[in-house]
Structure 1
Amino acid sequence: MIRVLLVDDEALVRSGLRMILEAAGDLAVVGEARDGDEAVQAAARLRPDVILMDVRMPQRDGLSATSELARHPGAPKIIMLTTFDIDEYVHAALRAGAVGFLLKDTPPRDLAEAVRVVAAGNAMLSPTVTRRLISAFAVQSPAPGLGARARLAALTERELEVVCAVGRGLSNAEIGRELEMAEATVKAHVSRALAKLELSNRVQAAILVHEAGLA
């Protein structure tokens, strides 16, 4: 059973999310919080596997809470929830350690599946969402960064190819077809690259690729 914590300042939203997730059968909502402070306290007390975290909340927002939670070893996987296609806070949240974001109007089946995928440590964002997100980030940061390129220099040629493909929003299966390698091999390259770059997820790697101007 995957343990989920819901964080949103609107009770109606939390109630709807709870109904959707608990109807899935393999997901258990272990608690709710109304803002970032309550989220941090509840996470320490309840030890959820996944947190669905609203971005904009009174008192303390989801970005601040995510930054704090992600610093702890064994932190829960955090998915940001937003009503906006691209929220100005999302880029910073991903850098802070969130594993991705979902729109609040995400279909119930997709919401439950996203929680399962994240809990398993697999792909953090759908390729479509990744492309949209990274595209918006690229517009905001058009100049290549020497620091980002220096970090990527630690990768092997093959790892760099794979990470650049991640930066274009490709899934492991798509990367495998493009580079003519098994999907399991792609996943291994991604894992090694993330470890070398000291990143927690593929979205952070994609942002780094765009900062380096290599996407």
Structure 2
Amino acid sequence: MTHHTPDAKRAPMTNAEQPIRVLAVDDDPMVLDLVRVMFKGAPDIVLVATASDGDEVIDAVTAYHPDVVLMDVQMRRLNGIDATAALTKRPHPPRVVILTTFDEKEYVPRAMDAGAVGFILKSAASKELYDAVRAAHAGESPMSARSAGHLRSGYLDGGGEGRREARRLLQGLSEREVEIARLVAAERTNPAIAAELFLSESTVKQHVATIQRKLGVEGRIGIAMVVVRAE
């Protein structure tokens, strides 16, 4: 069942101060209660609604217009991967960040293929959750180190055909773009890449956008997927 949250009625803000609107989806009421409490400490984030299963996501997104969806994987009626795939096929979908546990590594590559942009552990501290939502909203791809490892292992198992296709895609990049793509895959942030390559952050951001366009992927995780597959 979808629930409207009181925080969605916070006082109006200016356009420059609009909070990030979040929908949380999980079939465990305790997880949803914890998320509600955690977001009360983030003035720039508002939990506009919660949903208890994947089959409620489309209606909740239509009703509450979230910027970011926190999505559980294993739910009773419709799992989070299928819900993510259905959601990301819609025009202008919100960014989906998967709520995951230590024992769900097999879902990481599948969730990426479905359109998820990042992963956050359910056991994450409040600041990690805030940072993940902010990063997703800003076009970044939040991911715990453990999830990054699962992504790498999952895509290294893709076989020779996937490796050849990834290498072909990378050949379409300039030398500088390949260098930046590899740093993105190594989980470097734009400021870190800028410092390492003696570039401005705006230049790095432009390169990352160009790399995504040339590779035909979305987000930094999409870039990482191609780089990892090419290894």
**What TM-score do the two structures reach when normalised by structure 1?**
0.89
Aligned-partner Cα distance in 2 for 1:204–1:176: 20
1:49 aligns with 2:67: yes
Q: Which of 135, 154, 157 lines up with 2:152 in the alignment?
A: 135
Q: CA–CA distance in 2 between the matches of 1:64 and 1:36?
A: 8
1:208 matched residue in structure 2? 226
Please say which of residues 56-65 and 79-88 is displaced more in the overlay: 79-88
Q: Matched residues, percent identical?
A: 38
The Cα of 1:191 is off from its aligned counterpart by 0.9
**What SS does the aligned partner of 2:214 have?**
helix
Tell me if the contact between 1:6 and 1:14 (Cα under 8 Å) persists in the aligned partners.
yes
RMSD between aligned residues: 2.0
Distance in 2 (alpha carbons) for counterparts of 1:171 and 1:117 = 11
1:7–1:52 CA contact under 8 A, matched in 2: yes
Provide the C-alpha distance between the structure 2 equivalents of 1:83 and 1:129, rounded to a whole number of angstroms: 10
Question: CA contact under 8 A between 1:85 and 1:103: conserved in structure 2?
Answer: no
Which shows bigger deviation, 147-156 or 3-12? 147-156
The answer to whether the 8 Å contact 2:22/2:69 transfers is yes
Hey, what's the Cα distance between the residues in 2 that align with 1:77 and 1:17? 17
The alpha-carbon deviation at position 138 of structure 1 amounts to 4.8
CA contact (8 A) 2:71 2:80 kept: yes
Among 125, 135, 143, the alignment partner of 1:107 is 125
Q: Which residue, out of 29, 32, 43, partners 2:50?
A: 32
Instruction: Give the C-alpha shift of residue 85 in structure 1.
Output: 6.1
- Structure 2 equivalent of residue 70 of structure 1: 88
1:125 to 136, 142, 158: 142
Distance 1:27 1:169, change over 3 A: closer
Distance 1:159 1:128 in 2: 24
d(CA) in 1 for partners of 2:20, 2:156: 37
Return the letter of the residue paired with 1:156: S
Check if 1:16 corresponds to 2:14.
no
Change beyond 3 A, Cα 1:172–1:128: farther
Please report how far the alpha carbon of residue 136 of structure 1 lies from its aligned counterpart in structure 2 after TM superposition: 2.5
Q: Kindly tell me: are residues 139 and 192 of structure 1, through their superposed partners in 2, closer, same or farther at Cα, counting changes over 3 Å?
A: closer
Within the candidate set 62, 77, 100, 1:59 is matched to 77
Once residues 139 and 153 of structure 1 are traced to their aligned partners in structure 2, the CA distance between those partners, rounded to angstroms, is 19
Out of 192, 196, 199, the residue aligned to residue 178 of structure 1 is 196
Q: Is the 8 A contact 2:109 2:155 kept in 1?
A: no
Query: Quick one: distance in 1 between partners of 2:107 and 2:86?
Result: 15
Deviations 1:143-194 (A, max 9, x none): 4621122222322221121112212222223322332322322121011111
Matched, 1:195 2:227: no
In structure 1, stretches of 5+ residues that fail to align are none
Q: Indicate conservation of the 8 Å contact 2:24/2:69, yes or no.
A: yes
Residue 107 of structure 2 is matched in structure 1 by: 89
Q: When the two structures are aligned, how many residues end up with a matched partner?
A: 212
Rg larger in 1 or in 2? 2
AA aligned to 1:163 is A
How far residue 90 of structure 1 moved from its aligned partner, in angstroms, is 1.5
1:4 aligns with 2:22: yes
SS in 2 for 1:145: helix
